[in-house]
Amino acid sequence: MNCPFCESDNSVSALVCAACGRDIAVPQSLIAERDELVRKRDMLASQLASVTAELKKWERRKGRPTS
């Protein structure tokens, strides 16, 4: 695992960077929260794309210009 601060290579299980001494451990709860947020972001992006496509179809049927 590379240190996000100095880019030194460290053991995957390292809690502190061997080169710069900074804390590099990430709690599992934060990793799980990040994964859930990424999943929600992707789902919302997909929904937004779908709604945008539907809106453009509706605007074309009504004869309104699309932006």
Residues 29-60 pLDDT 10s: 888 999 999 999 999 999 999 999 999 999 99
Across the range 9-35, mean pLDDT stands at 91
Instruction: Report if pTM > 0.85.
Output: no
- What pLDDT score was predicted for residue 62? 87
Contacts of 10 (CB under 8 A, 6+ apart): 1, 2, 3, 17, 18, 19, 24
Residue type, 38: V
What DSSP letter does each residue of 15-40 carry, written as one string?
Answer: SB-TTT--B----HHHHHHHHHHHHH
Across the range 8-20, mean pLDDT stands at 93
- What pLDDT score was predicted for residue 64? 67
